[in-house]
């Protein structure tokens, strides 16, 4: 997936992403044409949790 220009057009600083609720980040990413996936990873095992 190519993201050239997406973050330049829709700037988000790291602190905002880290402190925002999951729903807020999900809505932001959907608004710019993306999606949010959260995984729990232990070793080679991955479980999608959101």
What predicted TM-score, i.e. pTM, was given to this entire model? 0.52
Beta carbons of 29 and 36 less than 8 angstroms apart: yes
Check: CB of residue 50 under 8 Å from CB of residue 36: yes
What are the sequence ranges of the domains in the chain?
6-48
In order along its 50 residues, the chain shows pLDDT tens digits of 455 555 555 566 666 666 778 888 888 889 989 998 888 888 888 888 87
H or E segment and range at residue 10: none
């Amino acid at each position: 997936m190519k993201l050239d220009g997406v973050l330049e057009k829709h700037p988000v600083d790291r602190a905002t992403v880290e402190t925002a609720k999951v729903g807020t980040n999900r809505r932001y990413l959907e608004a710019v044409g993306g999606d949010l996936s959260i995984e729990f990873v232990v070793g080679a095992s991955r479980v999608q949790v959101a």
